[in-house]
Amino acid sequence: MLVSRSYVVSFLVTLSVRQATVPPRCDPGNGGITLPPGFCAVVYADEVAITRHMVAGRNGTLYVSTQRGQGSISQIPRIAPDKGRSVVLALRDTNGDGRFDTEQRTPINSRTGIAIAPDGRALYVSDSAFVLRFRLADNGDVVRSPVDTIVTGMPDDIGHRDKSLALDERGGLFVSVGSRSNACRPSRGVPAENPCPELPVRSGIWRYDAGKPGQQHPKDGEHWARGVRNALGLAWNPTTRAIYATSHGRDGLHTAFPQHYTLAQNAETPTEEFFRVDRGIDIGWPYCFHDKDHPRKVLAPEYGGDGKTVGKCATMTMPLIGFPGHWGPNALFFYSGAQFPARYRGGAFIAFHGSWNRMPLSEAGYLVAFAPFAGGAPTGKFEIFADGFARDTLEPILARHRPTGFAQSDDGSLYISDDQRGRIWLVRYVGDTARRR
């Protein structure tokens, strides 16, 4: 049977179009998490390291900061050969199946913070005491030498040691330095220190020159925001052209002050705050905290508060959204892609690592929330975007996964990392045409 050349060309064109429009396949059960209708997920990487924050770069490269020797990942015998050490991962999916197939591991004493320069040619990575800058090769690989030390001298003795990073569009490098203590009280039975000696060097957000090596903390940085207990979520919003943060709220209200707070208030009252980091703001720590049940900032009991007194806290910056107590907001990300439905564009994703201290109430968090934005501000409500990470047990050690970082791929898909067992999901929107493997 003879077939005309024009028929063959037409058939091949039709086949090509059909293949191009076939929706990406996703994993059965979305790799163990639940998503809104129309979304699906593939496990991009699994058991690769204790994966924390991430950024996406050129050539489809995903850069991942990792930690060492923490979480239940140490129980997994198949973990990467450099278990016990932290590395920066550079992962790529070269065949388009949604899973990484090449990697580069750069040994560094990293913890959480990672950021990429706007031109995609430099990678910033934080340890607990310094920030380094690596050059990136044209193919996306991390160039190991020479390395620039951008900031040194950050406190890393005890307390909240992770230093989250974010870059603005004007060459500024923002570094979050968490508090040494819960409420600037050395120990139970000892009065809280007033003024708190931590505040000049910790419990805030500093802005440094991203292009200048050899800066010392805190003298060479601008003290951009004060009174921030532990802002692990830190992100630049390209729409509003401002920095935003999510901070972990305080602990121990009932434990130390049972005369003022019930066990239920101990679990629910101290808000996890989401706020805009405008220059010079004061969030209030340790003197004040936000009361989720009565949207206001109140005086901390260590400084004479009784659960009702506002006092000087009336002048402190209020959160844009107050999330339930102890959920653990570990990462913040503003979606800028075109793949997800329009309502997601410009909105904020927050990764909640999960609680450990909500007794007698059940533990909570272990999820990804989404906060829609309109007119450059959140609408005031948030919704659960991804859940099921912990599986059957909402406990830090026993939870299956704990979300802790985000990045966005070139096509607008969303990466979500887990630092419990080193899994990374790639979440896509496929509408009603999702096909499962």
Structure confidence at residue 378 (pLDDT): 95
What CATH number corresponds to the domain at position 29?
Answer: 2.120.10.30
Candidates 47, 242, 205; CA nearest to 113 is 205
Tens of pLDDT, residue by residue over 386-424, are 999 999 899 999 999 999 999 999 999 999 999 999 999
Over residues 179-201, mean pLDDT: 92
pLDDT of res. 85: 66
| Mean pLDDT rounded to a whole number for the chain | 90
Q: Residue 77's CB: how many other CB atoms inside 10 A?
A: 7
Has residue 106 been placed in a domain? yes
5 versus 218: the higher-pLDDT residue is 218
Q: Which of 104, 46, 160 is nearest to 426 (CA)?
A: 46
pLDDT at position 189:
76
What is the percent of the chain where pLDDT is above 90?
81
For range 9-31, the mean pLDDT: 56
Residues whose CB falls within 8 Å of the CB of residue 158, separated by 6 or more in sequence, listed in order: 180
- 215, two tokens: 């800066």
- Of the candidates 226, 225, 283, the one whose C-alpha atom is nearest the C-alpha of residue 249 is 283
Across the range 197-226, mean pLDDT stands at 98
Q: Which domain holds residue 268?
A: 5-280+314-436
Q: Tell me which residue of 69, 26, 24, 25 sits closest to 49, measured CA to CA.
A: 69
Query: Looking at residue 24, what is its pLDDT?
Result: 56
For 80-94, the pLDDT digits (tens) are 445 556 899 999 999
* Whether the Cβ atoms of residue 387 and residue 253 lie closer than 8 Å to each other: no
Give the tokens for residue 146: 């020479």
Say whether pLDDT at 178 is over 50. yes
* Structure token pair of residue 359: 């007794």
Residue 94: what pLDDT? 95
The reply to whether 203 falls in a domain is yes
State how many domains the chain has.
1
Examine residue 294 and state whether it is found in any structural domain, yes or no: no
In a domain, 288, yes or no: no
Residue with tokens 């060479």: 220
Whether residue 96 has pLDDT greater than 60: yes
DSSP letters of 231-297?
--EEEEETTTTEEEEEE-----HHHH-TTT--HHHHHHSBPEEEEE--TTEE--TTTEEEETTTTEE
For residue 215, CA distances in Å to 50, 151, 224 come to 29, 5, 16
Contact 203, 181 (CB under 8 A): no
- Cis ω before 146 (30° cut-off from 0): yes
Task: Write down the pTM of the prediction.
Answer: 0.91
N- to C-terminal Cα separation, the chain: 38
Least confident of 55-59, 82-86, 205-209, 310-314: 82-86
In a domain, 31, yes or no: yes
Quick: pLDDT tens for 29-81.
Answer: 999 999 999 999 999 999 999 999 999 998 999 999 998 754 444 444 344 44
Residue 157 lies in a domain: yes
Residue 345 falls within a domain, yes or no? yes
In a domain, 377, yes or no: yes
